[in-house]
Amino acid sequence: MTLQIAHLGPTGTYAEQAAIFYRDWLRNKGGSEALLCPYPSIAQTLKAVAQGQALLAVVPAENSIEGSVTITLDTMWQLDSLQIQLALVLPIAHTLISCAASLEDIKIVYSHPQALAQCQRWLEQFLNNVQIIPCNSTTEALLKLENESTAATISSKRAAELYNLPILATNINDYPENCTRFWVVSQGELSEANQTSQSSTTHTSLAFSVPANVPGALVQPMQVFAQLNINLSRIESRPTKRSLGEYLFFIDAEADVHEPHMQSALAELTTYTEILKIFGSYNVLKIS
């Protein structure tokens, strides 16, 4: 049986690179063969799994420079059935790809908003007068470059090789230790992923809303984790989109959801939250 793995496309994105790593890792662990399926946006990638068009999705969750990928968080909250099976940490090294003769000839730079933000200082230093145009992915605009001699795209060295395009500058991200954490997501529990996982996991991701915006509304849930000595590696707020000033809170806890103290925390958490969603318990793999 061939698995379908959805990812942000077109060909050459960092999400595809993470998906290739996961496909090969799965094969080495004795899993099924997998077919990579590109989608035009992160939201559509996740919806493909929710709607049964793909069994798995590999989506960016957080970057070490720019923080969380908010569309991933928002879509995970909206689609109730999705579960994180694994996290992949991919080093990110951006390049400037263009058919222009030199940096001085470039008038437009395309890329995904995250990539543009990760190279903001470099752009200000070397291309401070160019037009910046956000795209759905780091590779969406690559096919335009041969016909736009004054345009450039921020993408990977691998993408430049795949599209046979020149690189004008390498390692242009503002911080050298740039990496992105991707989630491997399925619809509910997935035996194919479980058979390649360890018996215990290291992280649990969840999100919740609070009943009212009152003093102590966030402190009480946080105290639950503190009292049970559960470390939180990330906490972030996102608007509920219902009313200004109302927020959802996304949390990564360094604990297995099945451990007794984590079960106690979740049980107590329900008394302080309006809606509580568990996105999954998983391990983290670093891609070298």
Q: What percent of the chain has pLDDT over 90?
A: 85
Can you tell me the distance from the alpha carbon of 107 to that of 129, in angstroms, rounded to the nearest whole number? 8
CA dist 206 → 16, 62, 228, 251 (Å): 25, 15, 17, 5
Across 82-95, average pLDDT: 97
Kindly report which listed range (13-27, 184-198, 268-282) carries the lowest average pLDDT score.
184-198
Calculate mean pLDDT across residues 165-170.
Answer: 97
Closest CA to 41 of 7, 70, 18, 16: 7
Is the peptide bond between 166 and the residue preceding it cis, with omega within 30 degrees of 0? Answer: no
| Mean per-residue pLDDT over the chain, rounded | 93
What confidence score (pLDDT) does residue 198 get?
Answer: 53
- In this predicted structure, the answer to whether residue 4 has a pLDDT above a threshold of 70 is yes
Q: List Cα–Cα distances, 155 to 35, 165, 234, in angstroms.
A: 23, 11, 27
In this predicted structure, the answer to whether residue 1 has a pLDDT above a threshold of 70 is no
Which of 14-23, 82-91, 184-193, 209-218 comes out lowest in average pLDDT?
184-193
Mean per-residue pLDDT, 94-116: 97
- Over residues 199-258, the pLDDT tens digits come to 689 999 999 999 887 787 899 999 999 999 999 999 999 998 888 888 999 999 999 999
The domains of the chain, with CATH numbers, are: 3-92+178-194 (3.40.190.10), 95-170 (3.40.190.10), 203-282 (3.30.70.260)
Strands (E), the chain: 3-8, 34-39, 56-63, 67-68, 82-91, 95-98, 108-111, 131-134, 151-155, 167-170, 179-187, 203-209, 232-239, 247-253, 275-282, 284-286
Question: Once rounded to an integer, what is the mean pLDDT over residues 146-169?
Answer: 96
Q: Of 76, 43, 117, 88, whose CA–CA distance to 179 is shortest?
A: 88
Q: Residue 80: its pLDDT value, please?
A: 86
Check residue 189 and give its pLDDT.
72
Q: Which two tokens stand for residue 176?
A: 């050298």
Among the residue ranges 31-40, 43-52, 195-204, 255-264, the one predicted with the least confidence is 195-204
> Crossing angle, helix 70-78 and helix 42-50, to 10 degrees?
20
Dist. CA 149–CA 6, nearest whole Å:
32
Whole-prediction pTM = 0.93
Q: What is the pLDDT at residue 193? A: 45
pLDDT digits (tens, 9 = 90+) for 182-204: 999 999 876 544 444 456 899 99
In sequence order, what DSSP letters do the residues of 276-287 get, joined into one string?
EEEEEEE-EEE-
Q: pLDDT tens digit string along 174-184?
A: 999 999 999 99
Give the span between the Cα atoms of 1 and 8, in whole angstroms.
23
Report how far apart, in Å, the C-alpha atoms of 38 and of each of 41, 98, 118 are: 9, 23, 23
pLDDT value of residue 191: 56
Nearest residue to 284 via CA among 218, 200, 215: 200
